């Protein structure tokens, strides 16, 4: 659909934004011709964000005709290779990390490393690794969200516990909770991916971001002793009874009541869990957020923060306008605007942006912008190929139920690695 209307609200927002340097600089560039954008932001709120961005960018470049095509998110995943090959737009939505690798390897995404020179490299430093393959950047991020440990501050206070600063303190807190009849963590592994969050953090805290990325890229054997150490750390929690019983029967939503009811004290989860916890009756005074603590003191802290992205197809016809749009998207002002609560409700990728007055968004923004020197991973099922992710996550779930099966599980994962990669 071609965007021709200019909503009054968008114009008002634009007049405010244009007073800032980053967008004014972009406004000085005279862009003409057609800019074709394909997007998977098909749900109402993200679609409104996308249309608003195009309206504002269009106000800055009145001689540029912008055409937006919105495709259902699931359909987009099956269509992207075809349209990148046969009839590429100038800009397309996608995802960071391994999800973009097949299109980089196939020569379908444009190298945009020149955009990352100077201020962008510093302002978007937390996401640069996720946008980098072969030492080059192949797109830009536009939103992400944090993972971490969400815990019951009131339960911790009742038992004299503090936010864990290291692995020993986490285990000590856990033992105190168990001694008082409270499970340390709720989790629902019926749909597997929640267990992958635990593996991500334990592996990154045990062996570091680079090792974790090498493992998900198929460059490390699953039977490697360093991988076994990750599972040994995990086993410490499993064997002490840290997780709720029968977690394979629950989805992540169905595991929430254990924390709401006080049967479990914490949840390793993405920030999207905060809203349903609030809706279930927990107040912000009862909830706390903690960065997953260090295990190996020699390893820098890395985080899981799934990142949504924009790319320029290598066959794009208006690359000048496309690059200007990507620069506009990542500007601090636009990032503040689109990630606000009435927009995407997530975190801006630009460290100079501001976030809504929400304590968990603020803490997540601080964690990702300042406290994640070890890198930002995309979550296991985005960092690993789909077939490997499925086999591995089945193994993670099995390990949480039967940790004694570890050797058989790792042998199975290693055979899969050799076949899949």
Same fold, 8-144+307-374 and 147-304+385-420: yes
Evaluated on CA atoms 160, 162, 164, 167, the torsion sign reads negative
What is the percent of the chain where pLDDT is above 70? 93
Q: Are 216 and 210 in contact (CB under 8 A)?
A: no
Name 33's bridge partners.
64
pLDDT of residue 157: 98
Query: H-type helices in 141-192, by residue range?
Result: 153-158, 167-179
Q: Identify the CATH class of 8-144+307-374.
A: alpha beta
pLDDT digits (tens, 9 = 90+) for 150-166: 999 999 999 999 999 99
Residue 17 has pLDDT above 60, yes or no: no
Q: Where are the domains of the chain?
A: 8-144+307-374, 147-304+385-420
Return the percentage of the chain with pLDDT > 90, whole number: 86
Beta strands in 91-233 (DSSP E): 91-95, 132-133, 136-137, 140-144, 147-152, 183-185
Distance of CA 19 to the CA centre of its chain: 31
Sign of dihedral through CA atoms 44, 190, 271, 370?
A: negative
- 316 burial (CB, 10 Å; 0-12 / 13-18 / 19+) is buried
* Helix (H), strand (E) at residue 368: helix 359-370
User: Among all chains, which residue has been given the structure tokens 């990148």?
Assistant: 84
The CATH class, in words, for 147-304+385-420 is alpha beta
- Rounded to whole angstroms, the Cα distance separating 104 from 107 reads 5
Helix (H) or strand (E) holding 194: helix 193-207
Provide the 10 A C-beta neighbour count for residue 366: 14
Number of H helices, E strands in the chain: 20, 13
Mean pLDDT of the chain: 92
CA 287 to CA 283: how far, in whole Å?
7
pLDDT at 28: 55
d(C-alpha 47, C-alpha 312), whole Å: 19
pLDDT tens by residue, 282-303: 999 999 999 999 999 999 999 9
Query: Helix or strand or coil: residue 35?
Result: strand
From residue 136, alpha-carbon distances to 85, 109, 130, 144, 368 in Å are 21, 11, 11, 21, 22
pTM attached to this predicted model:
0.86
d(CA 132, CA 399): 32
Residue 2: is its pLDDT beyond 90?
no
Task: Name residues whose C-beta falls within 8 Å of residue 142's C-beta, 6 or more positions apart in sequence.
Answer: 308, 309, 310, 329, 330, 335, 338, 349
pLDDT exceeds 50 at position 21 = no
How much is the CA Rg of the chain, to the nearest whole Å? Answer: 22
CA dist., res. 367 & res. 361, Å (int): 10
Confidence of residue 30 (pLDDT cuts 50, 70, 90): confident
At 317, the pLDDT band (50, 70, 90 cuts) reads: very high
Cα–Cα distance between 287 and 26 in angstroms, integer? Answer: 41
Q: Are 332 and 42 in contact (CB under 8 A)?
A: no
Q: How far is CA 264 from the centre of its chain?
A: 25
Can you tell me the mean pLDDT for 327-344?
94
pLDDT digits (tens, 9 = 90+) for 355-376: 988 999 999 999 998 766 788 9
Residue 26 pLDDT: 46
User: pLDDT tens digits, residue range 51-90?
Assistant: 999 999 999 999 999 999 999 988 999 999 999 999 999 9
């Amino acid at each position: 659909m071609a965007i021709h209307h200019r909503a009054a609200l968008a114009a008002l927002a634009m007049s405010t934004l244009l007073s800032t340097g980053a967008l004014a600089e972009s406004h000085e560039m005279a862009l003409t011709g057609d800019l074709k954008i394909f997007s998977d932001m098909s749900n109402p709120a993200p679609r409104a964000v996308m249309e608003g961005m195009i309206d504002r960018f269009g106000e800055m470049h009145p001689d540029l005709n912008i055409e937006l095509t919105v495709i259902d998110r699931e359909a987009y995943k099956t269509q992207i290779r075809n349209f990148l090959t046969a009839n590429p737009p100038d800009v397309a939505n996608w995802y960071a990390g391994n999800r973009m690798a097949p299109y980089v390897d196939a020569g379908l995404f444009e190298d945009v490393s020149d955009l990352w020179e100077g201020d962008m490299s510093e302002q978007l430093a937390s996401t640069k690794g996720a946008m980098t393959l072969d030492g080059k950047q192949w797109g830009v991020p536009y939103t992400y969200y944090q993972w971490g440990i969400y815990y019951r501050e009131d339960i911790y206070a009742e038992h004299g516990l503090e936010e864990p600063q290291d692995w020993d303190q986490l285990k000590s807190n856990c033992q105190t909770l168990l001694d008082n009849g409270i499970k340390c963590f709720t989790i629902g592994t019926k749909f597997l991916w929640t267990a992958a969050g635990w593996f991500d953090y334990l592996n990154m805290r045990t062996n570091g971001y680079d090792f974790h990325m090498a493992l998900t890229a198929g460059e490390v054997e699953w039977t490697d002793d360093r991988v076994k150490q990750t599972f040994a750390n995990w086993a410490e929690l499993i064997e002490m009874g840290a997780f709720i019983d029968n977690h394979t029967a629950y989805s992540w939503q169905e595991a929430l009541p254990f924390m709401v009811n006080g049967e479990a004290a914490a949840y390793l989860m993405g920030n999207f869990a905060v809203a349903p916890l609030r809706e279930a009756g927990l107040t912000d005074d009862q909830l706390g957020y903690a960065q997953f603590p260090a295990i190996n003191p020699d390893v820098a802290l890395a985080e899981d923060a799934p990142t949504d992205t924009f790319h320029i197809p290598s066959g794009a016809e208006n690359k000048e306008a496309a690059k200007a749009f990507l620069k506009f998207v990542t500007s601090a002002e636009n990032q503040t605007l689109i990630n606000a609560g009435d927009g995407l409700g997530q975190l801006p990728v630009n460290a100079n942006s501001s976030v809504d007055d929400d304590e968990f968004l603020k803490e997540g923004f601080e964690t990702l912008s300042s406290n994640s020197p070890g890198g930002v991973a995309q979550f296991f099922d985005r960092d690993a190929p789909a077939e490997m992710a499925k086999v591995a996550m089945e193994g993670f779930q099995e390990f949480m139920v039967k940790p004694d099966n570890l050797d058989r599980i790792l042998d199975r994962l290693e055979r899969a690695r050799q076949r899949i990669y």
